Copies of this chain bind each other. A is one copy, B any other.
């Protein structure tokens, strides 16, 4: 992820760029899964309108508002609660994936933030995201929590990481997990290794499903 990174000031100097801001909202928790597996942290992501998993946020126009004001506005639309994001919550800025439609001159810059909340605030966000948020059922198809644990049978983070994510959201998630000490590099490496295996099985499932639909269609 180090390649393509730039400071917040360097990023803002690119007036011809489009700017998108996203945030990882998270909290600690003492709750346990099945009364025995520590959940430790609640991390919010969302199912986006395009069917991919990602963090809340969206496009911001720095000529009209600060990056953080714009992100706070986007958040309000998506989660229905005002959660002020400040410059101190900035984690990193980088150029968008090369595979995007952005060219060198009208590039996309991705700004990422993280903000730690209280567990009760996370619960408030989940409630309002599914009720009063104006983008519920439109830009957002639902909020989901990221499981950091591993159950017997390898359920948890490894399976979650095998989903499809927008842009560099999976890398941003993994970077923040290590950056804020939410899990160890060793734990993350193990989960990700298993994720690669899970993903191969899904490939077979998809091919089988495609063959099935082809037969039904004919």
Contact = CB atoms under 8 A, between A and B. Distances in A.
Interface of A: 1, 29, 31, 33-34, 39, 42, 47, 49-53, 123, 126-127, 129-131, 136-139, 141-147, 151, 153, 155-165, 170-171, 174, 178, 185-186, 188-189, 192-193, 195-196, 198-200, 202-203, 205-207, 209-210, 212-214, 216-217
B216 A185 contact: yes
A174 B151 CA distance: 28
A173 to B, nearest CB: 10
B156 A33 contact: no
B213 A185 contact: yes
Nearest to A198: B164
A217 B192 CA distance: 13
B164 A192 contact: no
A39 B137 contact: yes
Given A158-B51, A192-B209, A137 B145 contact: yes
B145 A145 contact: no
A164 B85 CA distance: 32
Contacts of A155: 49-52
Given A51-B161, A203-B203, 8 more contacts: A47-B144, A127-B131, A141-B145, A141-B146, A185-B217, A189-B213, A192-B209, A196-B203
